Amino acid sequence: MERGACIAFVCLVVCAVPFPIGTPLSAEPATEVTPVASTSQPRGLTFTDHTGRAVSEREFLGRYMLVFFGYTHCPDVCPADLMIMSAALRELGEAGEAVQPVFITFDPERDTPVVLAEYVRHFHPRLTGLTGSPAEIAAATRSYGVIFERDGDEEGSESADYSLRHTALTYLIGPDGKGVAIFDHDSDPVETAAEILALLEQGPAGAVAGGSP
């Protein structure tokens, strides 16, 4: 398989925890946004952001988040979905200020804060990149139900030139840290913005304008 080849696993998520737990069901993407229900309180996921600062998920409480997991060596799926996220936020205009875009890497070995800082600047100006220790990233991916793995022939390889297969979904998280909706890979940004706007108008009061924590 070519370097960086990246295949999206499509998941349908039903959650009873603050962040979605996903199960891979089908290779066929859903045609509508998937709602997420949750009753539990946020847990203490921790990261290092693209400026090198230690952050906790609790620092994002009070604002909506659009969260995408990926890695900077991904040649197509990740940049495509981050471009869609950025376009949807631009489409939202001022309403988009209530939404904090977040990119979480599941490849902390290569995606250091310096690498993430260079990467996120190519997308939305408010996009926050998050990395962390392998244990921190493992906790985050389990919490969101994100699946990723090295391509079969490369498992256990010492080479730094490896590619990953992974879930490709964008998660909308509410100001209370609970899941609100999930958007499929390659969603239309105008439709995504319309869905988000409708959810913002219905959502809990108290969301504040976005921005890096």
Q: Give a three-class secondary structure readout of 110-154.
A: CCCHHHHHHHHCCCCCCCEEEECCHHHHHHHHHHHCCCEEECHHH
Q: Which tokens is 181 given?
A: 């909706």
pLDDT of residue 156: 52
Q: pLDDT over 70 for what percent of the chain?
A: 70
Residue listed under structure tokens 């875009």: 101
Q: Tell me which residues of the chain have a pLDDT lower than 50.
A: 1-42, 154, 205-213
The one-letter code for the residue type at 192 is: T
**Do β-strands 148-150 and 64-70 pair in parallel, antiparallel, or remain unpaired?**
unpaired
Q: Which residues pair with 179 in a beta bridge?
A: 173
Residue listed under structure tokens 């439709």: 191
Q: Which tokens is 1 given?
A: 């398989």
Q: Where are the domains of the chain?
A: 8-151+162-202
Whether the CB-CB separation of 69 and 104 falls below 8 Å is answered with yes
pTM of the model: 0.75
Identify the DSSP state of 39. Answer: -
Q: What are the distances in angstroms from CA 109 to CA 49, 135, 159?
A: 15, 12, 12
Q: Which tokens is 61 given?
A: 């409480």
pLDDT of residue 163: 80
At 34-53, the pLDDT tens digits run 444 333 444 689 999 999 99
Give the Cα separation of 104 and 85 in Å (integer): 14
Q: Which residues contact 207 (CB under 8 A, 6 or more apart)?
A: 62, 63, 64, 98, 174, 175, 200
pLDDT of residue 202: 86
CATH architecture of 8-151+162-202: 3-Layer(aba) Sandwich (3.40)
Q: By three-state DSSP, how is residue 197 classified?
A: helix
Q: What stretches of the chain show up as alpha helix (H) in DSSP?
A: 77-92, 113-120, 134-144, 189-202
At 145-164, the pLDDT tens digits run 888 887 755 455 566 778 87
